[in-house]
Amino acid sequence: MRNERFNVDSVIEALKSCLPIEQEKVALHEPYFGGNEWKYVKECIDTGWVSSVGKYVDQFEQKLAEYTGVKRAVAVVNGTAALHVALKIAGVIKDDEVIVPTLTFIATTNAITYCGGIPHFADCEERTLGLDPYKLDVYLQEIAEVKTDGCFNKKTGRRIKAVLPMHTFGHPVDLDPLVEVCQKFKLELIEDAAESLGSFYKGRHTGNWGKLSTLSFNGNKTITTGGGGAILTNDEELGKMAKHITTTAKLPHKWDFYHDQVGFNYRLPNINAALGCAQLEQLPEFLAQKRILAERYIERFSSMHGMKIFRETNFSKSNYWLNVLLLESDYKQYRDTILEATNIAGIMTRPAWILMHKLSMFTSCPHMDLAVAENIEARLINIPSSVKLSKHRM
């Protein structure tokens, strides 16, 4: 099909054919509460244990660790706080550079600046939408110098301390070669798994490759605690440290308030953790329903010219947190037309985030060639992906 034959109405009809018939307006991603949410939250209210202490925080952390396969999970107020603490514990300090994909949500980049660090933007690859480990390897061979005390940017003189990949829209980054790059250049690996709860790389849950990793439970995530996040690690000592400094670094005592370092009041309230426990109980069903919706989209759009639904790689199993409609390069000029028409039709769609290196506060940050990310940004559209959307189709 030639470009001039493009018809946005066909895109709208294709989307509608995959969505509930009776629903006039369809959000991008809504939470679903169909389990013990009210029971557990009501218990918090009835007993008065609604704030920073209570049984549901411990239960939520334990259940998260069991599900993801890590040794320790620490629940915090949101995913950004989790990133901040993970970077701090990993040793990121003022003027350290942290390699981060330019195609990410701003929280990933903001957290680096909270530590006084400097984002160093990397390109992504189209097969995962995440950081490209092979391109990064070639780039670091050009600009990095490995010394006994770490990796340094030959152009800026600053230390490059860590790599912070993000599993974009739930699709795992190609982690094994990225681990090799980090080892080769003496870099800490910290996974931003905010969007990938329920996603697996080579049979193992995301978050198990980095020194630390983070999750988000915002209202639009696969499961939600209202707000909330978590730090994951397979290092027990780092887990203890994360718990300590996110609870104001207070030493346990019956009455004294003694804090042994500067900490953060990042504790997840018990009432939010109660919601999380109920949501985790339903996670397998949530993932099954999201996969049904993704497969429906994939089948329906397989006959559409100029576009496709983005699919998981052969080495990963995605949670399909947000489904992606990816236009072919020759059709990228229609992205905004589709966005406008679908939203007018009551189907919420959105583009990818504006690339981080284009934002005014980050334009002076170092970066590699970002051609792939720039190309993807111009062609990507997120489409409705709520759990409940798979349940009501005839």
Give the CATH number of the domain where residue 25 resides. 3.90.1150.10
Q: Indicate whether 157 and 236 sit together in one domain.
A: yes
Q: Indicate whether 291 and 241 sit together in one domain.
A: no
Q: Indicate whether 20 and 100 sit together in one domain.
A: no
232 Cβ neighbours under 8 A, 6+ residues apart: 64, 65, 68, 70, 72, 73, 74, 193, 207, 208, 212, 213, 214, 215
Give dist(CA 227, CA 262) in Å, integer.
24
Which among 222, 254, 280 is the end of a domain?
A: 280
Q: Indicate whether 15 and 45 sit together in one domain.
A: no
Give phi and psi for 122, each to the nearest 5: -120, 160
Would you give the DSSP letter of residue 248? T
Q: Which residues of the chain have pLDDT under 50?
A: 1-4, 393-394
Q: Indicate whether 178 and 131 sit together in one domain.
A: yes
Strand partners, 118: 97
Q: Indicate whether 268 and 129 sit together in one domain.
A: yes
Residue 217 one-letter amino acid: F
Greatest Cα pair distance in the chain: 74
Bridge-based pairing state of the strands 212-216 and 188-192: parallel
Q: What predicted TM-score, i.e. pTM, was given to this entire model?
A: 0.95
CB atoms within 10 A of CB 3: 12
Which among 219, 248, 280 is the end of a domain?
A: 280
Domain range for 119 is 37-280
Query: If we measure between CA atoms, which residue out of 218, 137, 204 comes closest to residue 172?
Result: 204
Q: Indicate whether 166 and 199 sit together in one domain.
A: yes
Confidence (pLDDT) at 1: 40
Q: Indicate whether 363 and 328 sit together in one domain.
A: yes
Q: Indicate whether 193 and 76 sit together in one domain.
A: yes
Quick one: CA torsion of 133, 212, 40, 288, rounded to 10 degrees? 20
pLDDT, one tens digit per residue, over 6-46 is: 899 999 999 999 999 777 899 999 999 999 999 999 999 99
Q: Indicate whether 259 and 184 sit together in one domain.
A: yes
Residue 222 one-letter amino acid: T
CB atoms within 10 A of CB 336: 12
Confidence (pLDDT) at 390: 87
Q: Indicate whether 287 and 274 sit together in one domain.
A: no
Strand partners, 205: 200
Q: Indicate whether 286 and 205 sit together in one domain.
A: no
Query: If we measure between CA atoms, which residue out of 57, 32, 66 comes closest to residue 273?
Result: 57
C-alpha distances (whole Å) from 77 to each of 18, 74, 227, 251, 270 are 35, 10, 6, 20, 11
Number of domains in the chain: 2
Would you say 247 and 52 are in contact if contact means Cβ atoms under 8 Å apart?
A: yes
Which among 280, 307, 342 is the end of a domain?
A: 280
Q: Sign (positive/negative) of CA torsion 219, 224, 230, 232? A: negative
CATH of the domain at 102: 3.40.640.10
